Amino acid sequence: MAAPAGRLTGTESCCGAGAFRLYVLFGPLVWKVVQEWREQGCLPLGSWWLHLLLLFAVRGLTYQFWFTYGNMLFFTRRRRVVADGVDFRQIDAEWDWDNFLVLQTLIGATVVSSPLLPGLRQLCLWDPRGWAVALLLHVGFSEPFFYLAHRALHRAPLFAGYHAAHHSSGVTQPLTAGFGTPLESLLLTLAMGVPLAGAILMGTGSIGLVYAHAFVFDYLRAMGYSNVEVVSPRVFDAFPPLRYILYTPSYLSLHHREKRGNFCLFMPALDAAFGTLDGRSWALQRAAYDGAEGGGALGTPEFVFLAHVVDMMSSMHVPFVLRSLSSIPFANHFILLPFWPVAFGFMLLMWCCSKTFVVSFYYLRGHLHQTWSVPRYGFQYFLPAAKKGINQQIELAILRADRMGVKVLSLAALNKNEALNGGGTLFVNKHPDLRVRVVHGNTLTAAVILNEVPSNVKEVFLTGATSKLGRAIALYLCRKKIRVLMFTMSAERFLKIQREAPPEFQHYLVQVTKYQAAQSCKTWIVGKWLSPREQRWAPAGTHFHQFVVPPIIGFRRDCTYGKLAAMRLPKDVRGLSSCEYTMERGVVHACHAGGVVHSLEGWDHHEVGAIDVDRIDVVWKAALKHGLAPV
């Protein structure tokens, strides 16, 4: 059974450990290749054991290619068939989507080691006659066989036992093509294998045919499940018979959602002949391709979270790279290391010629929320020469959102850095007529941190005390008659903040310049990186609350460490399919949540610059009212 949405299964926590255990079944094939390599003294290019492993890799990459393309929203958002997003329940259900590839590879190994196809080991590299034979067998056997088998699977009692799980996926994706029962995989194997077997038995088979047939078969299946239209309706208008030769993602999507028609494998001619062709297929295909009403193009978002790339490794934690990684909290997995040079190349490319792009989306109460990313990495924000270019990217994103009709745009992490743009004030002052509300979300970030502090605490130690968040936290706590030890070397900045507090509470703010001053305080609020040596001054039993990025490393086993401020999205969120950096499923950074609250409340003010301490409780209560919850 699939894990409930929002929870991590053991498989996920091990980053697909179940799949790796299944790949152990390829051990005998690898051993055969190694044996032949040792015997021949070179890589056995004619070995069918090697070909089977290569075919598995090529076929898996074909589905991955279509998955990546289909989820590159900056390319495909206007040509989607279904506008809904994939949720975690579907991802969990389809986790082992490549089981059918493993099964077919093992069936292939059985055929290779048996006398069923005696001519298999003598195949030439290329024989054009085999293509004709395979095409005739596909049209004459595979298409009718799949059509009849598929229709049978839609009848009771077969549907409930063998096909309902496949249709439980709400939105088709290329990986959905592999999600099914063993019976479905065997039927598909027969439909795919007969043309190849026939060509080989007739003496016209070739190694090239095996690779090409498998590639085209998987390519067309992955395209059909991609949920993105790629063939222009003008092509079908110019050559109408093509409508009955080649299906489309819209064609398959109608079948997948409604289960009433469009049963073909690739060729709709059989549906037309047997009266099961859904007449809406071509109109939907045209609407989806043109991004017109009736298609699934993503419309104007109500809310945009403007993020940026953190580092090279986390750049691969995006929904269009590996779903098995983006659907769990980010961690530095060893399987990502070989792809580091590729990620580095993309970093250079984005630095040179990219602009802000759409990364992901979800729906909340019928409204579209999107995450956009500035094509810059964390380290670039600390390069003086890059400051102007980054602000230009952020400004262009804000103006684009304004033209589109976005209501709220929330700045993430370094995009609202005080030294960069004054927490967003640069853009609001430069463009006073903005309709989109620009929000830094730090008011809710402060609220989350403050509501984590136990009510019986009388004293806290605060680092990063003169930062935007540190100032707000200090001023709020002193009003609660909590003594705040503000760690700062600048008496000028400390006094400026102290004067902002009401006179009767100013004495609760105390400047300290050494960590030793907090050696009896068990509540540390950390807004500045702490080394192991600095953490040593905290007494046993201390809890470290954090708003420092990146979070401090927990060196003290006798202390506890909080995570970055975050909130869980409301339960009625739909189509959320990826984790936000290191956050758990369904959890977003507090600044993201702050923008969501701003949008849900319909507030008409910008939230930039210094945090309004008087609004901390207002924003917190509004977040809870709308169903957001502390983690």
User: Which amino acid, residue 187?
Assistant: L
Residues 6 or more apart whose Cβ sits within 8 Å of residue 599:
302, 303, 367, 369, 407, 408
Residue pLDDT, tens place only, 423-471: 999 999 999 999 999 999 999 999 999 999 999 999 999 999 999 999 9
Strands 367-377 and 357-364, sheet pairing: antiparallel
pLDDT at residue number 20: 57
| 547 contacts 449 by C-beta, under 8 angstroms | yes
Question: What are the CA-CA distances from residue 462 to residues 485, 493, 496 (Å)?
Answer: 6, 14, 16
Tell the residue number behind the tokens 């950390």, with chain if given: 526
**Hey, what are 603's tokens?**
């507030």
Q: Reduced to 3 states, what is the DSSP secondary structure of residue 249?
A: helix
Quote the DSSP letter at residue 485: E
pLDDT at residue number 21: 58
pLDDT at residue number 44: 80
Which domains can be identified in the chain, with CATH numbers?
25-290 (no CATH), 303-439+586-614 (no CATH), 444-564 (3.40.50.720)
Q: Where are the alpha helices (DSSP H) in 245-314?
A: 249-258, 269-273, 281-290
Residue pLDDT, tens place only, 552-566: 989 999 999 999 999
**Does residue 503 have a cis bond before it (omega within 30 degrees)?**
no
User: What is the 3-class SS of 381-443, one letter each residue?
Assistant: HHCHHHHHHHHHHHHHHHHHHHHHCCCEEEECHHHHCHHHHCCCHHHHHHCCCCCCEEECCHH
Helix (H) or strand (E) holding 353: helix 340-353
Tell the residue number behind the tokens 């390599």, with chain if given: 37
CA dist., res. 69 & res. 91, Å (int): 17
Phi, psi of 260 (to 5 degrees): -105, -25
| 405 contacts 367 by C-beta, under 8 angstroms | no
Successive 10-residue mean pLDDT values, the chain, 631 residues: 39 47 83 90 85 96 97 95 96 95 95 80 89 97 98 95 96 96 97 96 94 98 97 96 97 96 98 96 95 85 96 94 94 86 93 92 96 96 94 98 98 93 96 97 97 95 96 97 97 97 97 96 95 95 91 92 95 96 96 98 96 97 97 89
Cα of 608 vs its chain's centroid, Å: 29
| 29 contacts 109 by C-beta, under 8 angstroms | yes
Question: Angle, nearest 10°, between helix axes 182-201 and 143-153?
Answer: 170
CA dist., res. 133 & res. 509, Å (int): 85
CA dist., res. 448 & res. 137, Å (int): 64
The candidate with the shortest Cα–Cα distance to 308, out of 347, 256, 352, is: 347
pTM of the model: 0.92
The candidate with the shortest Cα–Cα distance to 483, out of 465, 457, 522, is: 457
Angle at the Cα of 407 (from 402 to 412), degrees rounded to 5?
85
Cα of 18 vs its chain's centroid, Å: 20
The counts of H helices and E strands in the chain are 28, 15
